[in-house]
Amino acid sequence: MIRLLDLTASLIGLLFLWPILLIVSFLGVFDTGSPLFIQERVGRNKKPFKLIKFRTMSVETNSVASHLVNNSSITKLGVFLRRTKIDELPQLINVVKGDMSLVGPRPNLFNQEDLIKERDAQGVYDVLPGITGLAQVQNIDMSTPKLLAKTDKQMIDSLTLKDYFKYILMTATGSGSGDAVK
């Protein structure tokens, strides 16, 4: 049932939000020259997939977790996109493709070994990663691997349909800051 909700909501989102996607893509060309950011992430069962986001940092920024990146890497447009969470909208394509869910643990990079170890121990990779979830609305980012894995596991074990919609609504209305940049 969750897959059907994910697919329906993502298709409706893409249908209604395409003007925003188009405008941000256009502005992104002038901001960084490359509006989309595509990065390999750890998916369900630790299989790699290509995460799609709007680029919020300069093209030269190293491919590391956000909390390890200097604030000066974020572009002016990127500040706005991150604050409004518009940078996450292209992930609706990942949801349609079946790489992600709307709600689930945020997908990490393969070079985040401590987090992979903690999530492995908690069985977090048994589910699809998500655009948002309990850790995101509680401002828990990837800089605290043990706490993040524990929170992800808590969400997985107790997720209800009500929580699914609550996390989406909380994220859309501004709860959670995502992965913080220093």
* Residue ranges per structural domain of the chain: 2-172
pLDDT in tens, 31-65: 989 999 999 999 999 999 999 999 998 877 666 55
pLDDT at 70 over 80: no
pTM greater than 0.85 (yes/no) = yes
Question: Facing residues of 42 across strands?
Answer: 48
